[in-house]
Structure 1
Amino acid sequence: MAASPTACPVPAADAPRRYGPWAGLALSVALAVGASELHRLPALGWASPLILAVVLGIALNSVRRQPVASLPLFAPGIALVMKRLLRIGVALLGLQITLGQMQALGWSGGALIVGTVAATFVFTLGCGHLLRVEARLTRLIAAGTSICGASAVVAANAAVEGDDADVAYAVAMVTVFGTLSMLGFPLLAGLIGLGDHAFGLWSGVAIHEVAQVIAAAYQYSPQAGEMATITKLARVVLVVPVVFVLLLALPTRSAGQVGPTRSAGQVGPTRSAGQVGPTRSAGQAVGAGRRVTIPWFALGFLALVGVASCDILPPVVLDGVATVDRWLLTVALAGMGLATAPAALVRRGGRPMLLAALATVFISLFSLGGVLMMG
C-alpha cells in the first residue's frame, strides 16, 4: 500500500529499509546502459563507457541541489556499486593480461614502461606539492596519468582514501588530457616519422585510458594497434605495486590524516554509510607503527593474471568475463558520478587542472624520448 502524503521526512528515511540497495543499483545500471548506447554513436566512439557513465551521473546531479547519492532512497545502492562492484571489476582486469604478453615487449620495452610510470608518478607528486594541490587529489591524478586512467584512479583510492569529489575530479582530468593525447599523438607521430612498432609502444606507454590507446593506435595502423594494446595491458599491471607503495607510505584516516571532511556540502555517502575506500579493520599488516590493509582486489588481480597466463580458460569464457567486467566498471563509475556534485569540481580551481596538464606533457615527452632512444 502506498504511503500517505506527508511533509515529514520519515518515509524517505525509511526507504533504504524498504528497498535496500535496489533503487540506487537500478539507477546506476540505467546510466551504464545509457553510457554504452552513447558509446555506439560515431561521434562518441572514442570515449569509453566508463567515462560516459561518470559524465551522465554528474550531469544528472547538475539539475539537483544535492547529489543523488545523498538521497536516502538511493544511497545504499550507490554505496554498493562504488564499494563492491568497483573492486570486483578491477580484480577481473587481471584475466585480460598474461605474462606471455608482457614477455613479448622484451626487456627494453618493460624497462621503458616501468621507468615512465615511476618517473611520471614522482614528477606529478613534486608538481602537486609546488602548485599546492591537495595531497590526496595529487596522488590520484598521479596514478591515473602514469598507469591506466580511471581504473588506476579508483584502484589507488583504496590507499589514498580520497573523497568522492577527489576521485571524480581525477577521472575527469585523465579523461580530458587522455583524449587530447589520443587526438594529438597520430598527428605528431606523422610529423616525426614514427614507425608502426614505435608508435604502438609510445601510445601504449603514454596515453591514459585503454580505449583511448586503442583508438589512437589502430587509427595509425593495425600493427601499431596490436603493439599498443599489449603495451597498455602490461602497464596496467603496475597498478598493483603502486597501490601497495601508497598503502605503506600513507597514514590512514584513522591515524589522524583525515583530509577534507563531509560536514558541509557533502558530495556522497559518508564513510560509515558506504565508504569508497576500504576500512583498515581487516586483512591488516603491521608496519612503521601502524596497520596497513592489503586490498583483496589487488591480490585477486595478481591471481587472475596467473590464471590467464596458464591458458586453462577457453576464449569464450575470457570474452564473457571481459564483457561482464566492462559492465561492472561502467555501473560502478556511474555510481561515482551520482555521488559527485558539479559544484565540487568547479571549486577545485585551475591548479589541479594545470597539474594534470603538466603530468600529461611529461609522460608524453619522457616516453617519446625513450622510444626514440630504443631506435
Structure 2
Amino acid sequence: MQQRVPIRNKTRPVHVKIIFVLAGLICLTTFVSGPVALIGGFLCSHFIGNPFRHYNNRIINWLLKIAVVGLGFGMNILEVTNLGREGFSLTVISIFSTLLIGFFIGKFLNVHKQITHLISSGTAICGGSAIAAISSVINSSEKDISVSLGVVFLLNAMALVIFPPIGHLFDLTEYQFGLWTAIAIHDTSSVVGASLAYGEEALQIATTVKLVRALWIVPLSLVSIFIFRGKIRGIKIPWFIFLFIGAILLNSYFPLPNHLTVSVTDISKSVLTLTLFLIGAGLPIDKIRSAGWRSMLLGISLWVFISISSLCLIIGVLK
C-alpha cells in the first residue's frame, strides 16, 4: 500500500501574518519614526518573513500617493510657489551635473551604457520612478532594471537613516534640510521620511521641491528616446502630483475646518511611516547582490557627489 505524502502548506503560518500586521499597526502610532519603521520592516522581513511580499510593491505605491496627497492639505499655495521658485535653480543644476558626471564615471568604470543612464537618472530625479519611466522608453533589459533598482534602493535606505543626524551635526535649519533632502535623496518616500523626522517645515519644503523635481521625468524621457533611439511607448508621468497640487489649492482658497486639515495631515504622516515599514520589509536583497561592484560604485559616487555638493551650496548660499 502506497504511503501518502502530506502536502506541505506553502502559505505562511497565521501567527507570522498576525505579528507582521501588528508591527505595521504600531507604525501608525506617533511612537515610531520613519527611519525606525524602515529598519523595523527590514528586520521583521528578515527574521519572520513578509507574508504579503507578493502585494508589497502595489500597496507601497498606493499608500505613498495617498500620504503625499494628504500632506497637501497642510500647505498653502503662496508658500509652495515661493519654495518651488527657490528650489528650481538648485534642481536644474543638480540634475544636469549628475547626469553628466554619471556618464563619465560610468565610462571610466566600464559600466553598461543603459545601466549608467538608469542609475544616473534615478539619482538625478526620483529613484525608482525615474528608472521605471526611462527604462520603458530605452528598451532596457530586466537585468539592467534590476541592477539599477538594487543600487538605488540600498542608497535610499541608507539616506533615510543617516541624513537627519548629519543635518543636526551641521546645525541645518529645517528649510536647509528640507531642500537638501529633496535634492540629494532619490525616492520620494525616503525624502519625505527623512524630512518628517527633522520637522514640519522641513517636511513641507522637501515634499514640494521633490515633487516638482519629479516632473523632470518627462523631458528626460524625451531626451533619452533621442539618445538611445528608443520608442515612445507611453511615458510614465507621476499623475498623483497634480492631486497633491489640487489639495494645496483646496486648502488655500476654500475655508476648510482647521481640525479637518490637521487630522488629514496627521493621518498622512502615519500612513507614510507605515509605507516606510513596508519598504524596509521589501528591500530587494537579491537585486542588491546582483548589482556588482562597478554599478554599486557608480551609484555611491553619484550619491556622494550630489549629497556633498548640494549641502555645501545650501550652507554657503542659504545662511
Same-fold call, TM cutoff 0.5: yes
Deviation beyond 6 Å, 4+ runs, structure 1? 26-29, 38-42
Shift of 1:363: 1.6
- Confirm whether residue 319 of structure 1 aligns to residue 266 of structure 2: yes
Distance 2:147 2:22 in 1: 23
Shift of 1:237: 0.5
Q: Is the contact made by 1:202 and 1:367 (CA closer than 8 Å) also made in structure 2?
A: yes
Task: Give the alignment of 1:143-182 within 5 angstroms.
Answer: 145-147=123-125, 152-159=126-133, 160=135, 163=145, 166-177=148-159, 179-182=161-164
Shift of 1:330: 3.9
- Over the residues paired in the alignment, what is the CA RMSD in angstroms? 4.5
Task: Show the counterpart of 1:274.
Answer: none
- Confirm whether residue 348 of structure 1 aligns to residue 264 of structure 2: no
Task: Show the counterpart of 1:262.
Answer: none
Deviations 1:208-258 (A, max 9, x none): 63333444xx4xxxxxx454333311232145324334544557xxxxx9x
Task: Give the alignment of 1:207-226 within 5 angstroms.
Answer: 209=190, 210-215=192-197, 218=198, 225-226=199-200
Look up the equivalent residue of 2:127 and give its one-letter code: V
Task: Give the alignment of 1:1-375 within 5 angstroms.
Answer: 6=5, 31=20, 33-34=22-23, 37=26, 45=33, 47=35, 49-50=37-38, 52-54=40-42, 56-57=44-45, 78-82=53-57, 84-92=58-66, 93-97=68-72, 98=75, 99-105=77-83, 107-134=85-112, 138=116, 141-142=119-120, 145-147=123-125, 152-159=126-133, 160=135, 163=145, 166-177=148-159, 179-187=161-169, 189=170, 198=176, 201-202=179-180, 205-206=183-184, 209=190, 210-215=192-197, 218=198, 225-238=199-212, 240-245=214-219, 247-248=221-222, 290-295=231-236, 298-311=238-251, 314-315=260-261, 316-328=263-275, 330-331=277-278, 333=279, 336-337=282-283, 340=284, 342=285, 344-371=287-314, 372-373=316-317
Q: Is the contact made by 1:35 and 1:56 (CA closer than 8 Å) also made in structure 2?
A: no
Q: How many residues align?
A: 291
Look up the equivalent residue of 2:245 and give its one-letter code: V
Look up the equivalent residue of 2:80 and give its one-letter code: M
Look up the equivalent residue of 1:172 and give its one-letter code: L
How high is the TM-score relative to the length of structure 2? 0.67
Shift of 1:166: 4.5
Deviations 1:243-283 (A, max 9, x none): 334544557xxxxx9xxxxxxxxxxxxxxxxxxxxxxxxxx
Cα pair distance change 1:365/1:324, threshold 3 Å: closer
How high is the TM-score relative to the length of structure 1? 0.58
Q: Is the contact made by 1:136 and 1:166 (CA closer than 8 Å) also made in structure 2?
A: no
SS of 1:354's equivalent in the other structure is: helix
SS of 1:290's equivalent in the other structure is: coil
Shift of 1:79: 3.5
Shift of 1:103: 2.0
Shift of 1:90: 3.7
Distance 1:289 1:157 in 2: 15
Consecutive unaligned residues in structure 1, runs of 5 or more: 16-22, 62-67, 69-73, 219-224, 252-256, 258-287
Shift of 1:29: 8.4
Cα pair distance change 1:369/1:60, threshold 3 Å: same
Cα pair distance change 1:227/1:350, threshold 3 Å: same
Identity %: 20
SS of 1:6's equivalent in the other structure is: coil
Cα pair distance change 1:36/1:170, threshold 3 Å: farther
SS of 2:292's equivalent in the other structure is: coil
Task: Show the counterpart of 1:280.
Answer: none
Look up the equivalent residue of 1:112 and give its one-letter code: L
Cα pair distance change 1:305/1:113, threshold 3 Å: same
Shift of 1:34: 3.2
Distance 1:41 1:139 in 2: 39
